[in-house]
C-alpha cells in the first residue's frame, strides 16, 4: 500500500482514516451496532493493528467524550497515530452534544486546544 509523506508532518499518512463518532457516541441507528466502552477500546486498538493511523473527531460530538475514549484506547500507540479534532464551536451550556453557535475567537481556540 502506498503511504504518503509530507515535509510538514512527521508521521506517514495512509489513505484511510477512522472517523469513529457514530460508535463512540452510542449512535447505532446507521450501523445497527452498539458497543460498550471496552469493546470500543478493542475496536480502536485493532484498527491500529490493521494499519489505521489517523483518527478524526470533534469536540462537539461529546463534548469531549470521543477525545477521552480515543486517548484511552490509543495511548499504547503514542507516537504512531494522529488524532485530529475540530473545534471552534460554542458548546451547549448544559454539556449535552451539539452547539449553540460558533466561537473562533483566539482565546477560545487557545482554551480548547491547550496551546498558548
* Catalytic machinery residues: 61
Mean pLDDT of the region 61-70: 75
The predicted model gives 52-77 an average pLDDT of 82
More confident residue, 21 or 77: 77
1 pLDDT more than 50: no
Q: Which residues contact 10 (CB under 8 A, 6 or more apart)?
A: none
pLDDT tens-digit profile of 86-111? 888 888 888 777 788 998 888 888 87
Nearest residue to 44 via CA among 91, 88, 77: 77
Q: Is the pLDDT of residue 43 over 80?
A: yes
* pTM for the structure as a whole: 0.68
Calpha distance 67→14 (Å, rounded): 21
pLDDT category of residue 115 using cuts at 50, 70 and 90:
low
- Other beta carbons within 10 angstroms of residue 44's beta carbon come to 23
Look at the block and give the residue holding cell 495512509: 14
Mean pLDDT for the stretch of residues 22-36: 58
Amino acid at each position: 500500500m502506498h503511504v504518503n509523506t509530507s515535509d510538514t508532518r512527521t508521521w506517514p499518512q495512509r489513505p484511510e482514516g477512522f472517523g469513529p463518532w457514530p460508535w463512540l457516541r452510542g449512535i447505532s441507528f446507521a450501523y445497527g451496532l452498539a458497543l460498550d466502552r471496552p469493546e470500543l477500546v478493542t475496536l480502536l486498538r485493532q484498527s491500529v493493528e490493521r494499519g489505521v493511523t489517523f483518527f478524526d473527531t470533534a469536540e462537539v460530538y461529546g463534548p469531549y467524550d470521543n477525545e477521552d475514549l480515543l486517548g484511552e484506547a490509543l495511548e499504547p500507540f503514542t507516537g504512531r497515530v494522529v488524532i485530529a479534532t475540530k473545534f471552534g464551536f460554542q458548546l451547549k451550556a448544559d454539556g449535552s452534544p451539539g452547539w449553540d453557535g460558533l466561537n473562533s475567537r483566539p482565546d477560545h481556540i487557545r482554551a480548547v486546544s491547550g496551546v498558548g
